[in-house]
Structure 1
Amino acid sequence: MPLSAFDSTASIEDEINQKILSVSEDRLQGFIADPFKEIAHLTNLPLALVLERIRLMFSAGTIRRIRLTLLANDLAPGALVAWKIPENSLHEAFDFLFQKDPFSGHVVIRSTDPAAAGARYRLWSTLKVPQGFSIQTHCELLKNLIGAEDYRIMPAKGIFTLGVGHIRRKTILPGTKSPKAAVMHPVAIKTLSEKQWLVLKSLKEELTLEEIDEGLWEKRASKIGMSSQAFFSIAKELEQIGILGRFSTFLEHVKPLYDGRKVTKFNALFHWAVPQGMEREAGGQIGRFEILTHCYWREAGSEFKNVNIMAVAHGKDKGLLESHKKAIDEHLESVGIPVSYTNIFWGGRSEIKPSEIFPEAYKEWLQKMDLDSSVISNS
């Protein structure tokens, strides 16, 4: 359908759509038997209207994908990777990670003050490598494939905040925070049974337009030859293990939508270096701030002045995001958490896709790239 065929009922500015998106982006945690009914319940809107609007927004590209997210750091060794790439190869390397590496998820070209620590690391990507394979070796392979001069692997040691709700965060004022500190989710690889992997793979798949309807998971269960009862039982097991994230309608971050509007314009990666031993406390305090979509404990190393807490915020106003950062800095000072270094890396060109986490996908990629699987070993 041509984009001109969509009217305001597919727009992020529509009042009903905003009400739906404020819930559907990041309020549906864990496994929910009928997620669209839950959205209707939480918004107090008729189910038929919720389904109609989500279908319209999905068809128009306002919603770019719909799926149940996973806490994939607990399923596959993962990290944020900063790449030092020659400037004339930057976009070519970006294209490779986005188009040809199914294990790289978010790929972003970032910039900061040229004099800042790590300023030459312009290309940033999230990476998951399936269990049984080596993230270090994968980065070495990518280094040669994209012509990187160097890279820095920064695994997540703990997660404090994870949930992208752009519409809900549009009106959040600097300093807005939850009454309690964020609780850290320690990252630890989980071992799953064959049936659990089978259900997980079904849960992870992106929805098609036809699947935006009641009975989503019953149909998925039937597709893999499993009863609804067994499927739901295993899904609940996965939720209890702590590896299911949220059922979410994802919006474009910075690309113009069909009507020319943008959901966000700026993407800020905040860095803080706090004393060793205070990472959990600092992350808990930073993770309280509602503007943040992500907050992690990651060790960046000496090249980044030993930054160990990172967080991400999105918005349309750069100055406003800086005010949010200032409010966090002032709060850290007020609660007695010293910061030896802090900085912001601003996002430019970006693409987002889910990372593959299944071992068979990795074997297929090695074969496709004509790489010897014997050189890949778990580390």
Structure 2
Amino acid sequence: MTSTAPVWIDDPTNAAILAISEDRLQGFQLDPFGEIAERSGIDVATVLERIVAMLRSGTIRRVRQTLMATNLADGSLCAWQVPPERLNDAFEWLFREDPFSGHVVIRTTDTATVGSNYRLWTTLKVPQGYDIAKYAAFLARKIGAEAYRLMPAKYLFALGVGHVRRKGMEPGARADVLAEVKDTHIVQLTDLEWRVLTAAKREFAPDEIVRDLWRARAAEAGVSLDEFERIAKELNARGVIGRFSTFLEHVKPNEAAGGARVTRYNALFHWKVPQGREMDAGREVGRHYIMTHAYWRDGGPEFKGVNIMGVAHGTEKETVLAHKAAIDEHLREAGIGFDYSNVFWGGRSEIKPSEIAPQAFADFCAAQGIDPETMR
């Protein structure tokens, strides 16, 4: 039976659900849909119906338990300089063929500037035991990159989407306290823990969206439901579980909603703050509610020495720039100057979770004709 439930984000019930389900369910949730119902004030049957309808329509891109991948695999933001005639082919290969590239984005700047010839940007994860620099060199050869820059996160200051709750947010809106700092130390797991984690992180198909969510995943991992939940809670305590989330399709127009978009502009902000003030600056930037991501990353000479980066989204370019200006002013008020800043705008974009399982990496290398041991 086809659902007649509204599927767009402007429906009040959907908006109430999404305000919680996008990025408010931190850690491993035993009963995520019951938790969404309790926090949103919407009964659980309606929560399930609406999430399924939005997932089938494409309003929601995926539903999954996220991991703190920065604590499970070596990861990096990577900017690629690719000849213009190869740019689209490189984009397609990284999106469709590389399981370890997550976000794949073509970016531009408003004016030609340092780094603006690096048009292709990706996030990259390489499972434990393997060398991200070696793998990036392989990717560069594969896509014909002339140059590239790996920019691993040293610390995280903001990580969460929440497009619905950010709509209409005033520039400068921020928390009363400094952003928390998340480190990127790698946590070692047993084979059993990897089995549970791999089953837990796989995205849910519409027919898997049920109240008793984890029973089938426990069977997939080859353990009892009680054992599955025990291990997941232990992993959560060790800091490797992210959040349970419904990810909106925030880039492409939605045909079921007449071509409407969740957001139109994706901006990667850059700041170069004085050496030794990176942690202070990151915690100030991360206070701003508009920031979906904020990191300390070193851009190197390719990007004029920037060291604080973050992402914000909006439906109007002027509004996104107003948020950037408010953060700039706040940094100055906090006594943190910066002698360079820039905005890289996102254009064509595809997003998928990066694979982080060691066996998946070994299998992929073998399929590419590479001895996995040479990537250690």
What TM-score do you get using the length of structure 1 for normalisation?
0.96
Cα gap change, 1:245 to 1:374, in 2 (>3 Å): closer
Q: 2:139 aligns with which of 136, 139, 142?
A: 142
Aligned to 1:84: 81
How far did residue 374 of structure 1 move? 3.8
Residue equivalent to 1:302: 301
In the other structure, the counterpart of 2:341 is 342
* Structure 2 gap segments, 5+ residues each: none
In the alignment, is the contact (CA less than 8 A) between 2:5 and 2:50 conserved in 1? Answer: no
State the distance in 2 between where 1:374 and 1:195 align: 23
2:228 & 2:374 partners in 1: Cα distance? 37
Displacement after TM superposition at 1:208 (Å): 1.4
Q: CA RMSD in A?
A: 1.3
Share of identical aligned residues, percent?
52
Instruction: Using the TM superposition, give the Cα deviation of residue 211 of structure 1 relative to its aligned residue in structure 2, in angstroms.
Output: 1.6
- CA distance in structure 1 between the partners assigned to 2:299 and 2:290 by the alignment: 23
Per mean C-alpha deviation after superposition, the further-off stretch among 86-95 and 361-370 is 361-370
Q: How does 1:218-367 map to 2 (within 5 A)?
A: 218-257=215-254, 258-259=256-257, 260-367=259-366
Distance 2:326 2:4 in 1: 39
Residue 35 of structure 1 corresponds to 32
1:200 aligns with 2:197: yes
Q: State the shift of 1:114 in Å.
A: 4.0
Offset, 1:375: 2.6
2:155 equivalent to 1:158: yes
Structure 2 Cα separation of the partners of residues 19 and 242 of structure 1: 28
Q: Deviations over 1:314-364 (max 9, x none)?
A: 111000000000000000000100111100000000000000001111111
Report the secondary structure of 1:364's partner residue: helix
By how many angstroms is 1:223 displaced? 3.1
Partner SS state of residue 270, structure 2: strand
Q: 2:17 aligns with which of 17, 20, 25?
A: 20
SS in 2 for 1:331: helix
Corresponding residue SS for 1:107: strand
Equivalent position SS for 1:202: helix
Mean CA deviation greater in 365-374 or 102-111: 365-374
Q: Structure 1 counterpart of 2:89, which letter?
A: E
2:165 maps to 1:168: yes
Quote how far apart the aligned CAs of 1:7 are. 5.5
Question: What SS does the aligned partner of 1:311 have?
Answer: strand
- Give the CA deviation at 1:371: 2.2
Equivalent residues of 2:79, 2:120 under 8 A apart: yes
Give the C-alpha shift of residue 64 in structure 1.
1.0
Q: Which residue of 2 aligns with 1:180?
A: 177
CA contact (8 A) 1:6 1:60 kept: no
Q: What's the secondary structure of 1:129's corresponding residue?
A: strand
Q: Which residue type is aligned with residue 217 of structure 2?
A: R
Report how many residues are paired. 374
SS of 2:214's equivalent in the other structure is: helix
The equivalent position to 1:115 in structure 2, one of 108, 112, 125, is 112
Instruction: Name which of 73, 95, 111 aligns with 2:92.
Output: 95
Give deviations 1:159-196, integer Å, cap 9, x for gaps.
11000111111121100000101011011111112221
- Kept in 1: contact 2:65–2:245 (CA 8 A): yes
Quote the residue 2:58 is aligned against: 61
Partner letter of residue 71 of structure 1? Answer: M
Say if 1:175 and 1:327, in contact at 8 Å, map to a contact too.
Answer: yes
The answer to whether structure 1 residue 127 and structure 2 residue 119 are counterparts is no
Note the C-alpha offset of 1:58: 0.8
Residue 136 of structure 1 deviates from its aligned partner by 0.5
Larger mean Cα displacement after TM superposition, 224-233 or 334-343: 224-233
Letter in 1 for 2:343: I
Amino acid paired to 2:184: V
Moved more, 364-373 or 90-99: 364-373
Deviation for aligned residue 1:372 = 3.0
Unaligned runs of 5+ in 1: none
- Please state whether the residue corresponding to 1:248 is helix, strand or coil: strand
CA contact (8 A) 1:113 1:119 kept: no
